[in-house]
Amino acid sequence: MYRSHYSKDVTKKDYNKSITVAGWIEDIRNIGSIAFIILRDKRGTLQLTVLKKKNPELFEKLTSLSRESVISVKGICKENEKVRNDYEILPERLEILSVAKAPLPLGVVDKVEADFDTRLDNRFIDLRKQKNQAIFTIRNAVIAAVHKYLQSQDFVEVHTPKITASSSEGGTDVFKLKYFEKEAFLAQSPQLYKQSLMATGLDRVYEIAWYFRAEEHNTRRHLNESTAVDLEMAFINDEEEVMNVLENLVYNMWKKASDCKNELKILVKKISVPELPFARIVYDKVVDKLQDRNSSIEWGQDLGTDDERLLGDIMKEEGAELYFITKYPLESKPFYTMPKGDKYSRGFDLACKGIEIASGSQRIHDVKLLEERMKACDLNPEDFESYLKAFKYGMPPHGGFGFGIERFLMELLDIKNIRECILFPRDRTRLTP
């Protein structure tokens, strides 16, 4: 029996006909001779109305079930403007698919919200909530927009290894693992593989990538396993071409999210699509603006959390919620970032409301310069032999970026904790579920 209709798919054509619905029992209100059962599926909720005198056995079975039990019901669909969706189902046949244990470890529609750890410990129930499902419906929509836009721009989707022989960033924040008789790492990003692909003739590639970073941070905006849109493109003149692709990508994702009317209504969120082009501000001016507001930042330093928030406030005052920071000091960027003179780099970040959501650059394509930069960053070129080989036999000028999906959703939907934006978060203390 199971299901022939979702709650939101029922139309006036179904009135006075027998239909089948299925889902989780969200609530039961038994007032003696009549009972009202709220049934939930992925499209929403509907009401079952059961009369005791009409079918005492069916009445008893339905009203004795626990909340969150799963059932399939066949019955007559009746118009009723006084109930949700303007219709109700009068059950004739019931199939009990799964009985939920009571009490529930977490309520789905309880007015008192459980603490965050309890929610994450019982994520399979937490994800039954309409607001949480709305987040992931929007996430699905914006990722679909990624594929549509980038493939319209002649990008090819690729999938790179997640187990690597060396750290992609050259840093220490890596997860080590035993790979048979060797030591290996979980990939911090697809960076080195994306660049290697620029030597193949696949001029434009992208990946919905996984990042594994063993950072000690345990804040509302850090994860140790996260996802990103990672992109690389060849035969560029400078980083501005990469930034143009990035801002158009963000624009298309934002616009697609704005089409999710039902989900935005559930989240009580209004979205204004940003205008193009996004603002650009050079690093030197960023430091000046921050110091004018009594920040202790010094030239050459990365922006800390407080400085990022302060800059977000400053840029909002100037009418820009999305903005690029460009011309970073070379010493603050990874070894593969193209220098701009001796002091600056062709690296950039994209920030939204004071939170960095993407980072990119024009890359070094000359192998000798790349080896020099590795040594300047205290890295041994011999540890990157496989990576460097791709630069020795014809490598075009190229650049790219990594764009965090969870951070984008945080800022898009004004979500306070990044763990809300990924199904099963992994952080400093959480390895399950």
Q: How far apart are CA 347 and CA 330, in angstroms?
A: 8
Q: Which one of 123, 356, 372, 430 is the catalytic residue?
A: 356
pLDDT of residue 283: 98
Q: Which one of 213, 346, 365, 419 is the catalytic residue?
A: 213
Please indicate, yes or no, if residue 112 is contained in any of the structural domains.
Answer: no
Domain boundary among 47, 82, 98: 98
Q: Do 320 and 221 sit in the same domain of this protein?
A: yes
Per the structure, the count of domains in the chain is: 2
Please indicate, yes or no, if residue 35 is contained in any of the structural domains.
Answer: yes
Q: Which one of 3, 123, 215, 372 is the catalytic residue?
A: 215
Does residue 407 carry a catalytic annotation? yes
Q: Do 203 and 301 sit in the same domain of this protein?
A: yes
Q: Do 80 and 144 sit in the same domain of this protein?
A: no
Please indicate, yes or no, if residue 107 is contained in any of the structural domains.
Answer: no
3-class SS shares of the chain: helix, strand, coil, % to 5: 35, 30, 40
Q: Which one of 359, 361, 365, 371 is the catalytic residue?
A: 359
Q: Do 164 and 25 sit in the same domain of this protein?
A: no
| CATH code of the domain containing 67 | 2.40.50.140
Please indicate, yes or no, if residue 225 is contained in any of the structural domains.
Answer: yes
Q: Do 273 and 358 sit in the same domain of this protein?
A: yes
Does residue 213 carry a catalytic annotation? yes
How many CA within 13 A on the CB side of residue 362? 21
Q: Do 365 and 270 sit in the same domain of this protein?
A: yes
Please indicate, yes or no, if residue 432 is contained in any of the structural domains.
Answer: no
Please indicate, yes or no, if residue 309 is contained in any of the structural domains.
Answer: yes
Q: Do 93 and 128 sit in the same domain of this protein?
A: no
Does residue 428 carry a catalytic annotation? no
Please indicate, yes or no, if residue 429 is contained in any of the structural domains.
Answer: no
| CATH code of the domain containing 343 | 3.30.930.10
Q: Do 50 and 182 sit in the same domain of this protein?
A: no
Q: Which one of 123, 147, 222, 280 is the catalytic residue?
A: 222
Q: How far apart are CA 339 and CA 347, in angstroms?
A: 8
Q: Do 14 and 158 sit in the same domain of this protein?
A: no
Q: Do 131 and 81 sit in the same domain of this protein?
A: no
DSSP string covering 197-258: HTTTT--EEEEEEEEE------STT--SEEEEEEEEEES-SSHHHHHHHHHHHHHHHHHHHH
| Per-residue tens of pLDDT for the chain, all 433 residues | 888 999 999 999 999 999 999 999 999 999 999 999 999 999 999 999 999 999 999 999 999 999 999 999 999 999 999 999 999 999 999 999 999 999 999 999 988 889 999 999 999 999 999 999 999 999 999 999 999 999 999 999 999 999 998 776 656 689 999 999 999 999 999 999 999 999 999 999 999 999 999 988 888 989 999 999 999 999 999 999 999 999 999 999 999 999 999 999 999 999 999 999 999 999 999 999 999 999 999 999 999 999 999 999 999 999 999 999 999 999 999 999 999 999 999 999 999 999 999 999 999 999 999 999 999 999 999 989 999 999 999 999 999 999 999 999 999 999 999 999 999 999 999 999 9
Does residue 221 carry a catalytic annotation? yes
Please indicate, yes or no, if residue 111 is contained in any of the structural domains.
Answer: no
Does residue 356 carry a catalytic annotation? yes
- Domain hosting residue 269, numbered range: 124-421
Summarised one tens digit per residue, pLDDT across range 99-151 is: 999 999 999 998 888 999 999 999 999 999 999 999 999 999 999 999 999 99
Q: Which one of 40, 204, 221, 398 is the catalytic residue?
A: 221
- For tokens 């697809």, what's the residue? 190
